[in-house]
Structure 1
């Protein structure tokens, strides 16, 4: 147990806890440490009995996550593809294609790095309900671990608001690669309108996905009892997969459009020669 002096020394942390259904802004939720200060005190009390070896292992794990975050840009599959293309084009970034590949790689790398960095936020001190045999809530217990990234507001913001935005902005940029390649071949033909249209629809669905993630702010993750709102997340992900299905359909339409128009153009070239 913590001594009265130790509890007093931790009281300054209470401002980072959003308790008893208190109204708080998204900014306050981002920098919060939990929804129950008592749970935090209980956790700190338990920490007194952790061996120095365990504390060292925890510190090493945090350092490992930071190192993995820094090396993340070199671990993604696009790194080698991007490097090969750069070498083949002699690092000539004046070419539009090279700019697209570079921007795509930078944004995807940033997204991956942020997603990995979120793993360092492993604790959030909140309530979890206890039930009787009839399934009624009879009380609340403490949880210390943020087992899912949604359970930590700042981690949710970093890994799903920011990282998702970087991922899909990078993908949107990359989606223009086949468009530019096709444009070079068609040289202003009217059929390019269909490619612009389908590419635009494809990009639009990804923008919708980014906005949809942002719509679930940190202040919505926990209910008035300080309990992680699983039901809200279930509804959220149901709609999320509907949007993902839209992304898939528009991707197929875009690919088929490019393929059919290129096929028609190549047949015309073959016929004329």
Structure 2
């Protein structure tokens, strides 16, 4: 309808409405048919939420430390360093998790498979919502209590957190597997399309990885499966260490290293999913433009 209105206005000799001209100048960046709304919004939203979480955490550097406490050294600091940033970080992760769901919904007509994808995505997101709620549960940050006995509530909180991470990795694998099963036919069709295209015969593996999002989703699942045994063993070690009379302080230090490794894994998963696909866009036929642009936006 908007195209018809624009066509009618262009037939007019006079166009003295300057506000419409300014609107067209700025609106064209977002109403352009080649602007892939869902994918771009997911990427922008993920970037914004993750950045907000990190920005809030930097406020901790202005805060004072209370005596006889461990990091982050006060109850208020806990909310600044963990609770609020985790709200933004995990919300950004949840938003990024929707990409395979949207991808599946667009290209798959099998309602039963789509329902399975919705269910596994919901369970996966619920584990992250539990993670958000957990970070708002304030542990006792004191090093020792009134009787001089060491307080270990922080260690218990860490164990609960890593159990949530293990559950999240398990549900992530189930989610990726449901997406792969739903997009199986689409994967075979794309492989045949690439096989018949003479321009993509060289560097076939790299081209397939770049052009086919299903391969990137498979990579995401493989990464989750590789990481899962590491954190499972780490949680078991943490639990055993907690029940010892003389706990090993190196286990607490190892926690930070595992968390950094988890963030690297998470970023590689997110970056391996959405991607540009110039080949698909360039092969859109003019007479079939409106039907193809919707699909090709989600094949990136």
Higher relative CO (Cα under 8 Å, sequence separation at least 6) belongs to 1
1:113: which partner in 2? 55
Query: What is the deviation of 1:116?
Result: 2.2
Q: Deviations over 1:201-244 (max 9, x none)?
A: 11000000111111226xx4347639897400111111111111
After superposition, give the CA deviation of every residue in 1:48-106 in whole Å (9 maximum; x if it has no partner): xxxxxxxxxxxxxxxxxxxxxxxxxxxxxxxxxxxxxxxxxx66677122222221111
Instruction: Indicate conservation of the 8 Å contact 1:221/1:228, yes or no.
Output: no
1:241 matches 2:183? no
TM-fit CA distance, 1:175 = 0.6
Match of 2:141 among 202, 221, 229: 221
Structure 2, unaligned runs of 5 or more:
1-28, 193-300
**1:163 to 2:85 alignment:** yes
| Structure (1/2) with the larger helix percentage | 2
SS at match of 1:215: coil
CA offsets 1:7-54 (integer angstroms, 9 cap, x no match): xxxxxxxxxxxxxxxxxxxxxxxxxxxxxxxxxxxxxxxxxxxxxxxx
1:183/1:228 Cα in 2 relative to 1: closer, same or farther (>3 Å)? farther
Aligned to 1:62: none
Matching of residue 261 in structure 1 with residue 182 in structure 2:
yes
Indicate yes or no: 2:121 matched with 1:179. Answer: no
- Is the Cα–Cα contact under 8 Å of residues 122 and 147 in structure 1 kept in the other structure? no
In structure 1, list runs of 5 or more residues that go unmatched.
Answer: 1-89, 128-145
> 1:98 and 1:261 mapped to 2: Cα distance?
23
Secondary structure of 1:148's partner?
A: coil
Give the count of matched residue pairs. Answer: 162
Alpha-carbon distance change, 160 to 269 in structure 1, aligned in 2, over 3 angstroms:
closer
Aligned mate of 2:121, from 185, 193, 199: 199
Distance 1:148 1:197 in 2: 38
| Partner residue, 2:76 | 154
Root-mean-square deviation over aligned CA pairs: 3.1
Of 172, 181, 185 in structure 2, the residue corresponding to residue 251 of structure 1 is 172
Mapped partners of 1:245, 1:155: distance in 2: 26
Distance in 2 of aligned mates of 1:210 and 1:226: 33
Distance 1:226 1:106, change over 3 A: farther
Confirm or deny: 8 A CA contact 1:121 1:155 kept in the other structure.
Answer: yes
1:1-273 equivalences under 5 Å are 95-124=37-66, 126-127=67-68, 148-149=71-72, 151-187=73-109, 189-216=111-138, 220-222=140-142, 225=146, 230-267=151-188
User: Residues 98 and 227 of structure 1: is their aligned pair in 2 closer, same or farther, counting only changes over 3 Å?
Assistant: farther
Structure 2: how far apart are the matches of 1:213 and 1:227? 27
Shift of 1:199: 0.6
